[in-house]
Copies of this chain bind each other. A is one copy, B any other.
Amino acid sequence: MPVCFVTRTETFCAAHRLFHPALSQEENARLYGPCANPNGHGHNYKLSVTVRGEVDPATGMLIELGELSGILRSRVIDKLDHHNLNLDVDFMAGIIPTSENLLAAIWRELEPALPRGDLWELRLEENEQNVVLLRKEC
């Protein structure tokens, strides 16, 4: 039998700057390109969370999408939207806000909060050309 996955996508806008504190501005520019510019820049991010599990035969659902949206918004989106990823987000304190690091931090926030199914994948779209994802296994 095929396995079921449910995905909810939310958007947020945030500022960030990629900068390693042990390196010079020149070294940061070489490493991170224009993402190291001193005063920061920002994005409209799209974050998708995918839950994997079994469909409840009584309800015909794996997880109700409004419920999944509520968890995602209260745990993650409300802390990120219209904020600065370097300065404002408790679960990003001391972490360079690359998409890879941001996804790993979001994984830690979301995984214990899901009432049904397993956290299977997190996908972050910085823009239509740049996407990073974490997936449990392949």
**Taking the full assembly, how many copies of this chain does it contain?**
6
Residues of chain B with a CB closer than 8 A to A132's CB? 4-7, 62
Number of interface residues, chain A, beta carbon within 8 A:
69
Majority-rule SS of A interface residues = mixed
Contact B136 A2 (CB under 8 A): yes
Q: For residue A64, give the distance in angstroms from its CB to the closest CB of chain B.
A: 7
Contact A98 B60 (CB under 8 A): yes
Is A20 on the interface with B (CB-CB < 8 A)?
A: yes
The 10 closest A-B pairs by CB, nearest first: A42-B42, A39-B84, A34-B82, A2-B134, A60-B98, A15-B15, A7-B131, A15-B42, A60-B101, A41-B82
Taking Cβ atoms with an 8 Å cutoff, the residues of A that contact B are 2-11, 13-16, 18, 20, 31-35, 37, 39-44, 52, 55, 58-62, 64-66, 69, 81-84, 86-88, 95-96, 98, 100-101, 103-104, 107, 121-122, 126-138
